[in-house]
Chain A
Amino acid sequence: MNKSRRSFLKTAGISAFALSSGIAEPANEAYAKLAPGRYTRGETALTAKRWAMVVLTREFKTPQDYEPLIKACHSAHNVPDIAGRQNIKWLWLDAYAHVFPDDMNSHLDEYTRAASYPLLCNHCSNPPCVRVCPTQATYKMEDGIVAMDYHRCIGCRFCMAGCPYGARSFNFMDPRPHLANPAPNPTFPTRMSGVVEKCTFCAERLAVGRFPACVEASDGRLLFGDLENPSSDVRKALANNYSIRRKPSIGTQPGVYYII
């Protein structure tokens, strides 16, 4: 063997070019795909660069005003109602002091202090839950939705420890006995004991051209749209009102905005 430095560099350069330029790509693709068909989005699918939600909290007068939203969400996704601390929640309510601890002061006006605020997964731009998940069962999709692949969840609950908003629930038991029979939405799967679940911004509804269930049930009091599109409802609402997000100082960049 008498390889000159020059011929080694030549081969190395050509290999690097082939690998990075896509000449070697088709081989990878043939390996990755099994089915002979093609995969695409639905024709009516709603798409965005960055989905976001704006809650017009002044439009909700009492906690009961949020009930239809919670009901719509939980029945669309077969979320059970379990008495006690092992309940599952995708959309729920809490008081100002818990929702916006950073903004709490002892002289806050009575209305703001006493009101209930709706909570859900914030679909952060920098989601800590995704960083800590050891199986990539939770991940950020192209459109900003922090999604769950329940099939991969091993129930380690790192994501629950990682989430600063308590947006994730663990199934301590089989949810089915706690649901109506037949399930409220027989076209959507339930979950099983040992997996974590949370709001997914209704990715399955966006895929068929429908807004999330809570937004649909809110009579225009929840806005949903593309944060990257300056003419979207959410951008207009944010441009014209003072809005806050939960725990901004930790840098997660939530996608859910509250107009107080």
Chain B
Amino acid sequence: MYNAKAVIFGILIFVGLCASPFWASFIGRDYKSTDIVLPKNEKNCIEDADFMRSQHMRLLNEWRDEALRNENRVYTALDGKKWVISLQNTCLKCHNSYEDFCQKCHVANSVYPYCWTCHIIPKGGK
């Protein structure tokens, strides 16, 4: 091959650069918690924590449609507990600091829900 040394060296550098995110993860930071503050005097969320973590936005969607379109304003969870369907009065009653819970995790994930232009974050938390 003509000028083999330089070509192979070049290819190695190219592959190395392409894989740089992979190498960076070795020296990168560890998983960082979002420091969300969980409610102190409650043990369980409405459904189990995994479901809430991954599906709460879709649950809220469904709550909204059921409450406003089908007039079903009570949600009976899997464990039989009944909850009044309300974003600001139910979710934020336990998660009483919006900033230390919802917002912390959302900012870390670059999610910016627009709900609070209308829904009112209860006072007391902030």
Contacts and interface: CB of A to CB of B under 8 A. Distances in A.
Interface residues of A, number: 34
Given A42-B73, A186-B120, A207-B71, A37 B78 contact: yes
A36 B78 contact: yes
Contact of B120 (A33, A141, A150, A190): A190
B84 interface: yes
B71 A192 contact: no
B123 interface: yes
A34 B76 contact: no
B121 to A, nearest CB: 9
Interface stretch (B13-21, B55-63, B103-111): B55-63
B45 to A, nearest CB: 12
Contact of A33 (B62, B73, B88): B62
A129 interface: no
Interface in A151-206: 151, 174, 182-183, 186-192, 203-204
A147 interface: yes
A147 B69 contact: yes
Interface string A12-45: 0000000000000000000001111111111101
A81 interface: no
A130 B90 CA distance: 30
A34 B89 CA distance: 22
Q: A37, A147, A187, A204 — which one has the most chain B CB atoms within 10 A of its CB?
A: A37
Contact of A40 (B65, B76, B86): B76
Nearest to B51: A36
A192 B70 contact: no
B72 A39 contact: yes
A41 B71 CA distance: 7
A149 interface: yes
A203 B123 contact: no
Interface string B68-93: 11111111111000001110110000
A103 interface: no
Given A33-B62, A37-B76, A189-B88, A142 B118 contact: no
Contacts of A37: 46-47, 75-78
Q: B84, B86, B89, B120 — which one has the most chain A CB atoms within 10 A of its CB?
A: B120
Contacts of A151: 64, 68
Contact of B75 (A35, A150, A203): A35
A186 B92 CA distance: 12
Interface of B: 46-47, 51, 55, 58-59, 61-62, 64-66, 68-78, 84-86, 88-89, 117-120, 122-123
